[in-house]
Amino acid sequence: MDKAGKAPVFKNFIFRYRLAFQGIAALLQNANFKGFFTGKPFSGAAKGVCVPGLNCYSCPGAIGACPIGSLQNFMSAKRFKFPYYVLGLLIFFGVLLGRAVCGFLCPFGLLQDLIYKIPLGKIPVFGRLRQKLHKNRIDRMLRKLKYAVLVLCVIVLPLFFKLTPVFCKYICPSGTVSGILVGLADSQVGALFGSMFMWKVSVLSMIVLACVLISRPFCRYLCPLGAFYAPFNKISLIHLSVDASKCVSCGKCASVCCMGVDPVKSPDDLECIRCGKCAVNCPAEAIRIGVKRRSE
C-alpha cells in the first residue's frame, strides 16, 4: 500500500489488463510467425528449452518445448534417463510463480478465458447454469482428476508403453489446436489426418463447449501442468495474502474468482491461479498479491 492507503497503481494495471499480458506471453512463446503460414515448425536452438505453460512443441509458431511433452519423452524413451533438466525447470517455475504460470503465461489458459468471455451469462438460463456448475459439489471432486492425469498419462503409462507420449497423443487439446493450425497452413499434412486426430478433435470440442459454461475446465479437471504447479502455491515467491484487519467479509472476492476459490478462507488454495480478480474487486483493499514478504 502507498501512503494514502490505496492499492499501488501497478497492481491494478497488471491484473486489470491480464488478458493483454497473457496475449503477449502467448505471442512470445509462438514468435515463429512464419510457421503459421508455411506449417513448418521452428527448429532453432530455443526449441530445446521448455516454456512454463502448456504450449505444444509441434505448434508451427512455437519457439520452445512444452514441459509436459518433454517430460513424456524422457518417460517413454527406449533407454530411460531421469528428466533432471525438465523437472529442474518445472520446480524453478513452481517455486518462483506457483500457479501464476496458469494465470499469466499459459497460452491454452488464455484460449479458455477468451471462450468463457462469450456473453452467454447475460442470458438468464445460461447465467443460472453457470452459477450452479461453479458451486456444484462434483466440481471439487473432478478437480482431483488432473492429478491422476499427471501420474498416469504423463509418468506411469509412458514408462510402460515406450515411444508413446500418452497425454500428448490422446488428450492434449493444445496439441490438437497445433495440428489444426498446421493442417490449415499445409493442405498436404491436413490430408493425412486420420481417426486418431478426429478423436483429439472430439476431446478439444468437448473442452471448448465446457469452456462456455465453466471457467477454465481444462485447468480445473485435466491439466497435468496445473497439477504439478498446484502444491507450489503454498511456497512460491508470488504470494496471495489477506489482511484480516481490513477484510469486511463481504464475499466479493469469492464471488468473482474464476477458479471457485475463497481467498479469505484459503489464500494458498491449490486452485488459485493468482489472476488478481479478488484483489481488484476487494472494496476494502484487503487482498495483496505480490512477492512474498519475510513476515508472511
Residue 184: left (phi > 0), alpha (psi -120 to 50), or beta?
A: alpha
| Per-residue confidence (pLDDT) for residue 4, from 0 to 100 | 41
| Per-residue confidence (pLDDT) for residue 294, from 0 to 100 | 60
108-139 per-position pLDDT tens digit: 999 999 999 988 766 777 667 777 666 677 88
| Per-residue confidence (pLDDT) for residue 223, from 0 to 100 | 98
**Joined grid coordinates for residue 250:** 463481504
Q: Which residues of the chain have pLDDT under 50?
A: 1-9
| Per-residue confidence (pLDDT) for residue 76, from 0 to 100 | 93
Residue pair 230/259 in contact by the 8 Å Cβ criterion: no
| Per-residue confidence (pLDDT) for residue 120, from 0 to 100 | 74
Which DSSP string corresponds to the chain?
A: --TTSPPPHHHHHHHHTHHHHHHHHHHHHT--TTHHHH-PPP-SGGGGSB-SS---TT-TT--SB-HHHHHHHHHHSSS----HHHHHHHHHHHHHHTTHIIIII-HHHHHHHHHHTSGGGGSHHHHHHHHHHHH-HHHHHHTTHHHHIIIIIIIIHHHHSTT--HHHHHT-HHHHHHHHHHHHH-HHHHTT--HHHHHHHHHHHHHHHHHHHSSSHHHHHT-HHHHHHGGGGGT-SEEEEE-TTT-----HHHHH-TT---TTT-TT-TT-----HHHHH-TT--EEEEEPPTT-
pTM of the complete model:
0.91
Query: CB under 8 Å to 241, separation ≥6 — which residues?
Result: 267, 287, 288, 289, 296
Q: How many CB atoms lie within 10 A of CB 251?
A: 10
